[in-house]
Amino acid sequence: MATDARERARRTDAAWTAGPVYSVVRTTVRFVLWPYFRVRTTGREHIPADGPVILAPVHRSNLDSFLLSPLTRRRLRALAKISLFNVRPLAWFLASLGSFPVRREGADRESMRVARDLLDEDNLLLVFPEGTRRDGPQVAELFDGTAWLAAKAGARVVPVGIAGSGEAMPAGARFPKPCRIRLVVHPALEPPEPRAPRSALRAWTADLESALQSALDEANAGI
């Protein structure tokens, strides 16, 4: 089932309709949602224009994925839970936006394989290093998954701080509030060596956590 859903997603992603759909959504976010939330951005030039790149923001709200799309002209890819692809119209829309289905229940290996495939095709991939939504001004302790993925794919990793989205749409909220939001993009981190030992991956992850904290602090200071 997962394989069939991914094949349909790939066909949709490759179809001529995908680009226009993504452009319409990104334009809507830029000229409707950004003004609504009075979004301010810093450091958009730090997102590389080509090659495999992991966009690695903090995660404070379901709004985060949508708010990030206008930061770059590149199409942003992401992984999404497979249950969202059970309804064909929604599956078509998500695939057009660059999302690919994965099973989340004990399927970290599968998620990593799909993510690496996307990076091997020189895509810009959205990865939340904290794993899930968090609250507060502190970056949660990170696991080594982002480091492993960056090392295997040779992907640079761009830390992004997001402030205000958790207040605009906290967990459980049905509608967003017009709170001010700040997006801060910091310079990309070079990936670890492909055969880096676990100790090197842990050290690199600590550097990413520090960079994320710095970006989040700057974003919070600008609210």
* Domain limits for position 173: 2-221
Is residue 46 scored above 80 in pLDDT?
Answer: yes
Tens-digit pLDDT profile for residues 211-223: 999 999 999 998 8
CB 60 within 8 A of CB 203: no
Predicted pLDDT at 103: 73
Tens-digit pLDDT profile for residues 49-70: 999 999 999 999 989 999 999 9
| Strand, helix or coil for residue 101 | strand
In degrees to the nearest 10, what's the CA dihedral of 102, 107, 109, 114? Answer: 0
Is residue 82 scored above 90 in pLDDT?
Answer: no
Q: Looking at residue 189, what DSSP letter applies?
A: B
Q: Looking at residue 74, what DSSP letter applies?
A: S
Amino acid symbol at 99 = S
Q: Tell me, what CATH number does 172's domain have?
A: 3.40.1130.10
Give how many domains the chain has, as a whole number: 1
- Between residues 185 and 88, the one the model is more confident about: 185
CA distance 169 to 60: 9
Tens-digit pLDDT profile for residues 128-149: 999 888 999 999 999 899 999 9
CA distance 78 to 75: 10
The pTM (predicted TM-score) of the whole model is: 0.91
Position 107 confidence tier, pLDDT thresholds 50, 70, 90: very low
